Amino acid sequence: MARAVPLGPDDPTVVGEYRITARFDEPGPEDAYLATDPQGTPVVVRLLAAVAEPERVTAAVGPLKGVPAFCVAQVLGSGTLGDRPYVVSEHVDGPTLAEAVQESGVLSGAALHRLAVGTMSAVVAIHQAGVLHGDIRPGTVALGPDGPRMSDFGLNEALRTSETTATRHVGKPAYRAPEEFSDARAGPPADVFAWAATMVFAATGRDPFAGDSVAATVNRVLHDPADLSVIDVELRSVLARCLAKDPADRLVASDVLLRLIGEESLFQVTGQASRRRRRVSWRAGAAFLAGALVAGPAVFFAVPPRTEVVRVPVAPPSVTAAATVAVELDSVPEKTTAVRIDGAPVVLRESADDPVRMNGYLLLDAPFASYVRRANGTVTEVGRGEEPMVSPDGKRVVLSPWVKYLRSDYDYVTVRDLKTGAEFTVNTVRKPLQTVVPSWSRDGTRIVLSVEDTEEKRTVGFVVVDVGTRVANFVKTEYTGGTAYPFGFTPDGQVARGYSDGRHRGLEVYDTQGMLTRTLHWVGVPRDRSWFSPSGRSLATLCPNSDDICVWDMKSGARLATVPTPDDSYSYWQGWFTDRHFVVRVPTKKGYELRIVDLLGNVERVLATVEQKKETVFFRFGALP
């Protein structure tokens, strides 16, 4: 933040419920103050320029409060002081990027890439909330102790709501997009342009289009390319696309972020073939995005480039074993073998190196047999009329009957050890309730099932089965909903489900008492149970406003990618394949295909072909026993 100085005689001492303690010495049409809220927490109060209808500006600030708290200085409140609207935001204790570069020098290598990823993650979160930043520049990027934060987002747009605004802040011309100097209304591409210009400043210490006068600067913004010669070639190519004069030629924010965490530009790994090196760098990017953004400004300036570790913990915190696995992010194996499944209209096209393979299925015609497929190629019948779900480690299968109450008034599940054949049954709920759609926790110790009330035709809660103690616990949830969205486990072992309430479509997370602990109301609904990527960092949903597939950062809620479906006809999500690939189901003339698609929408390979005019087989993919 700018330097705090004592209050002057004309400065207010109280604004709304906030006590003013100091004034920030920074230029701009608004007055910025350090203040405390009623609990004594430091905040920033920005008293904006006087307008004829300050309530309109205050109302426009409302949507800014919904931006996820990831790499942004959160907007906490707003109000009016006479004819001046004010905005209250989180106080970030750290220098701005402009101050840090002036004091410590420019950024390069890993430090520059971390800054690029952190700040672009903020842009993605802001755009996903349906607002614009409108004033990205080195002075609005704060380097706090927990990483970079974008501040002052949306204030210019809020001021535009009043046509009688006396003074409008237009920022520094060197960070304005070309379209902002015409009659065109700036949109998200203008933020992308300003972000790229800010990254050029971080790498060079100079305003990218600065001229001897304002007119010269504007002329350079409109006509001259930025000097990117000191920036490494891969990041340079991304910034060049973002600095295109025509907004239609720029990358969208989510694609910029995807390129930053996926391209070879992040970290070079020597001694390997070119294609392999690119895949390893994606691994580095994924691990990097999850952990490196919490570094403070000292880390941004001090950490040299290095090869990132590509092993991550996969057990939830309650598991004491130090279980780790290498994150599978390599290319999709191209050489495959056609395997026909006896008794089912399915031809698999698989490789022994595939991270997931078909491991269970249920025939939907008599005798409704359930099967488990093993690593040696054999197929074993494990039940009749029961949905099979193999555990993540391939050691057990849970069987949930599709026809209920044949034995008693209780529903149940059966758990079988696939090595010894030993099994046990656990009652779950009593009629008129029933349990459906079993899903395993990642450590294979628990199973969650959705509880449906057959009379009300609603999902009213979930049952968690502890495999070790053989006990089922029925939890009524705080909110109920339709039966289209089943419960599943999050990577850290919490229970979640998709929901749609008529206004929002998203994901709800519950504690063990059925109380709602987190809602991602903007992400769209997940399909089936395979929502989370193998590393657990990403969530896939059906996009909230389209038929595309959206990929989100689970920690921040920021959108990482928008993936178009690979065919003009209706297709839908089937599950993850690796952290950068998933499986979609696409109709064909004779049935459908399961295709492996990357995060840019490119079809990598066909995984299976199913020839059926009606649904005759229900199958699952995962680890082979």
Q: What is the pLDDT of residues 575-590, one digit of tens each?
A: 899 988 988 888 888 8
Determine the pLDDT at residue 315: 27
pLDDT exceeds cutoff 70 at 395: yes
Q: Tell me, yes or no, whether 311 lies in a domain.
A: no
**Which of 156-170, 323-337, 571-585 tops mean pLDDT?**
571-585
The pLDDT mean for the chain works out to 77
Q: Chain centroid to CA 247: how far?
A: 25
Q: Tell me, yes or no, whether 437 lies in a domain.
A: yes
Mark whether 262 and 367 lie in a shared domain: no
Q: Three-state SS string across 137-166, please?
A: CHHHEEEECCEEEECCCCHHHHHCCCCCCC
Task: Tell me the pLDDT band of 72, cut-offs 50, 70 and 90.
Answer: low
Determine the pLDDT at residue 384: 87
Mark whether 342 and 288 lie in a shared domain: no
pLDDT exceeds cutoff 50 at 39: yes
Determine the pLDDT at residue 451: 94
Choose among 266, 192, 181, 265: nearest CA to 217: 181
**Percent of the chain having pLDDT more than 70?**
78
Instruction: Considering only residues 91 and 107, tell me which one the structure prediction assigns the higher pLDDT.
Output: 107
* DSSP for residue 113: H
Determine the pLDDT at residue 60: 59
Mark whether 549 and 489 lie in a shared domain: yes
Looking at 287, 302, 317, the residue that finishes a domain is 302
**Which of 1-15, 141-155, 301-315 tops mean pLDDT?**
1-15
Mark whether 233 and 373 lie in a shared domain: no
Pairing of strands 337-340, 591-598: unpaired
The helix/strand/coil state of 48 is coil
Mark whether 267 and 388 lie in a shared domain: no
Instruction: Considering only residues 520 and 570, tell me which one the structure prediction assigns the higher pLDDT.
Output: 520
- Supply the CATH number for residue 570's domain: 2.120.10.30
Q: Calculate mean pLDDT across residues 233-239.
A: 84
Mark whether 223 and 368 lie in a shared domain: no
Instruction: Considering only residues 288 and 25, tell me which one the structure prediction assigns the higher pLDDT.
Output: 25
Q: Tell me, yes or no, whether 317 lies in a domain.
A: no
| Structural domain span for residue 66 | 4-302
Mark whether 417 and 279 lie in a shared domain: no
Crossing angle for the helix pair 274-291 and 109-128, to the nearest 10 degrees: 60
**Which of 73-77, 133-137, 168-172, 548-552 tops mean pLDDT?**
548-552
Q: Tell me, yes or no, whether 324 lies in a domain.
A: no
Task: Tell me the pLDDT band of 611, cut-offs 50, 70 and 90.
Answer: confident
Choose among 405, 407, 403, 359: nearest CA to 385: 403
pLDDT exceeds cutoff 80 at 566: no
Asked whether 554 and 491 are in contact (CB, 8 A), the reply is yes
Q: What is the pLDDT of residues 331-378, one digit of tens each?
A: 788 889 998 887 788 899 999 888 888 888 888 777 788 888 888 878
Tokens standing for residue 274: 């070119």
With a CB cutoff of 8 Å and minimum separation 6, the contacts of 403 are 385
Mark whether 185 and 249 lie in a shared domain: yes
Task: Tell me the pLDDT band of 310, cut-offs 50, 70 and 90.
Answer: very low
pLDDT exceeds cutoff 60 at 87: yes
DSSP string, 537-565: -EEEEE-TTSSSEEEEETTT--EEEEE--
Mark whether 502 and 458 lie in a shared domain: yes
Task: Among 264-268, 361-365, 388-392, name the one with the lowest average pLDDT.
Answer: 264-268
Where b means 16+ CB within 10 Å and e means fewer, 312-331 reads: bebbbeeeeeeeeeebbbbe
pLDDT exceeds cutoff 50 at 299: no
State which amino acid sits at residue 218.
Answer: V
Q: Cα–Cα distances in Å, from 103 out to 106, 190, 512?
A: 9, 29, 50
Determine the pLDDT at residue 387: 87
Task: Among 29-38, 470-479, 568-577, name the one with the lowest average pLDDT.
Answer: 568-577
* DSSP for residue 532: B
Asked whether 254 and 559 are in contact (CB, 8 A), the reply is yes
Determine the pLDDT at residue 617: 80
With a CB cutoff of 8 Å and minimum separation 6, the contacts of 126 are 67, 72, 132, 133, 150, 153, 154, 191
Phi and psi dihedrals of 112, rounded to 5?
-65, -40
Q: Tell me, yes or no, whether 54 lies in a domain.
A: yes
Determine the pLDDT at residue 380: 86
Determine the pLDDT at residue 292: 35
Tokens standing for residue 88: 């209250």
Determine the pLDDT at residue 280: 29
Tokens standing for residue 340: 């026909």
First to last CA, the chain: 56
Determine the pLDDT at residue 283: 31
Q: Cα–Cα distances in Å, from 545 out to 147, 496, 620?
A: 31, 22, 28
Q: Calculate mean pLDDT across residues 478-490.
A: 82
Q: What is the pLDDT of residues 173-193, one digit of tens each?
A: 788 888 888 766 678 899 999
Q: Tell me, yes or no, whether 511 lies in a domain.
A: yes
Phi and psi dihedrals of 324, rounded to 5?
-135, 150
**Which DSSP helix (H) or strand (E) runs through 337?**
strand 337-340
Q: Tell me, yes or no, whether 331 lies in a domain.
A: no
Pairwise CA distance, residues 608 & 339, whole Å: 9
Mark whether 469 and 601 lie in a shared domain: yes
Q: Tell me, yes or no, whether 159 lies in a domain.
A: yes
Task: Tell me the pLDDT band of 140, cut-offs 50, 70 and 90.
Answer: confident
- Supply the CATH number for residue 267's domain: 1.10.510.10
Pairwise CA distance, residues 208 & 175, whole Å: 8
List beta partners, residue 543. none
Q: Chain centroid to CA 276: how far?
A: 26
Choose among 275, 290, 374, 294: nearest CA to 327: 290
* DSSP for residue 469: T
Instruction: Considering only residues 430 and 377, tell me which one the structure prediction assigns the higher pLDDT.
Output: 430
Structurally, how many domains does the chain consist of?
A: 2
Mark whether 275 and 350 lie in a shared domain: no
Mark whether 242 and 370 lie in a shared domain: no
- Cβ atoms within 10 A of the Cβ of 113, count? 26
pLDDT exceeds cutoff 90 at 242: yes
**Percent of the chain having pLDDT more than 90?**
18
pLDDT exceeds cutoff 50 at 318: no
Asked whether 516 and 479 are in contact (CB, 8 A), the reply is yes
Tokens standing for residue 82: 């006479």
Asked whether 525 and 90 are in contact (CB, 8 A), the reply is no
pLDDT exceeds cutoff 70 at 319: no
Asked whether 391 and 444 are in contact (CB, 8 A), the reply is yes
**Which DSSP helix (H) or strand (E) runs through 276?**
helix 274-291
pLDDT exceeds cutoff 90 at 28: no
Instruction: Considering only residues 517 and 166, tell me which one the structure prediction assigns the higher pLDDT.
Output: 517
Instruction: Considering only residues 327 and 6, tell me which one the structure prediction assigns the higher pLDDT.
Output: 6
Task: Tell me the pLDDT band of 5, cut-offs 50, 70 and 90.
Answer: confident
